[in-house]
Structure 1
Amino acid sequence: GCASAIASSSALTEMLIGKTVEEAEQITNGDIIAYLGELPKQKVHCSVMGREALEAAIYNCRTGKTLDRKLDGEVVCHCFGATDKAIEKIAREKKLTTAQEITEACKAGGGCGQCIPEIEEIISRVIGAEKAESDEAPRLTQLQKIRLIEETIDRQVRPILRRDGGDLELHDVDGDRVFVKFVGACVACPVSSVTLKDVVETQLREAISDALVVEAV
């Protein structure tokens, strides 16, 4: 690797001496940069690579297996490992319109900054696609939207949740924001946040609109 990558890996090696696995797990790429004194802005990703190597080593130590990093899409921000699909998803979900907002939401673009133009292109693409969808799709009244949401929950969401003893209630609808309340087994489920996005939000978006954002209350 380049001099910055070698310096980052050497610094990380020194920082790990005498530490337990749990202590090593707390080391961040920011700690690596601080240990070195500084890194050129365009080389911040070298410290991120060091942190990723540490994560892989800890995973191997604990499981005996190799960490398989499967990224969805092409990496845009190498400093923070953010892909084009991840940036597009968060821009859609949170209605973000600037690269600064993307950085605040997921750190992408917050390192060397070389990916900012590409992030801005992704944002423009998302805004353009949403405008096209809005122009083409007939607008639902608020009452129609609520009824369609209720029907979709009854038909497509509840059967999935009830298999594991859970359920949800529609709490409120504010524009494209849908507020739901988990009940039953879903209340204490450790993966309820995943269920909220991967099941509830996905089903509602497919049935009604990609603009919907589902939140738990």
Structure 2
Amino acid sequence: MWDYTDKVLELFYEPKNQGAIEETNESGVKIAMGEVGSIACGDALRLHLKVEVASDKILDARFQTFGCTSAIASSSALTEMIKGLTLDEALKVSNKDIANYLGGLPEAKMHCSVMGQEALEAAIYNYRGIPLAAHDDDDEGALVCSCFGISESKIRRVIIENNLTDAEQVTNYVKAGGGCGSCLANIDDIIKSVREQATAPALNKDYNVKVATDIANSKQRPLTNVQRIALIQKVLDEEVRPVLIADGGDVELYDVDGDRVKVLLQGACGSCSSSTATLKIAIEARLQDRVSKNLIVEAVEP
């Protein structure tokens, strides 16, 4: 039997927010839905959001889940966590946050928290009318695990976001390799590639660390232009680029003009139909959170 926490068992036996949110055509409110997984693979989650249009605030969240104890508990926990948040705030909820809310999950069940994170992203993207990024819908990128339909881009993403170090962990998080096992060697190669990329020396890394330290020690003073540009570059290099590179894309800082940050989208990001989502969610929201809420990110033609 799995060693579940009391919180996991509580939300399994008495799940909160289970069910659907029906469309009532209420003024100023929209309903959104995101769906991930499949019954054939053992787990499926449909997440419903009730959003106040004027404020982008999640008024209610409900779920319909087919799956195990961890899947039901993770889905219930997610709905509790995001009610009252804005959509941008909800996008920052990670699978680690879901697991932590539950007091932890058995490592072999971490894929349930990942499923919750992906359903939340899918619902918000659907609400905004933006096509899901390649790592979300898994339609792009080489297929690695044919048993569960998992692409290389999805495997790279979960390795980076959760600092995974072996193929067994990858299986626990996204099920890849949990079927016939023929893809385990490929997963090992992907892990090696990600780790080599992560340990490669970054340009101006020491300078960026110094800038971040200086900024932390002078929170009462507004950032100078040099400090702000350096911090923008640091966030792009350390928080944005690794995720984009994992999906075959990249971004380069082109210019900063007042509150307008101009970037060059490269690789898969440059030709992807979801480039607007990349700009607004992967880049702009992150820079607004880390540097200034007034920043607007724009793409320039190469």
The two structures have a TM-score, normalised by structure 2, of: 0.32
Structure with bigger helix share is: 1
Structure with bigger strand share is: 2
Select the structure of larger CA radius of gyration: 1
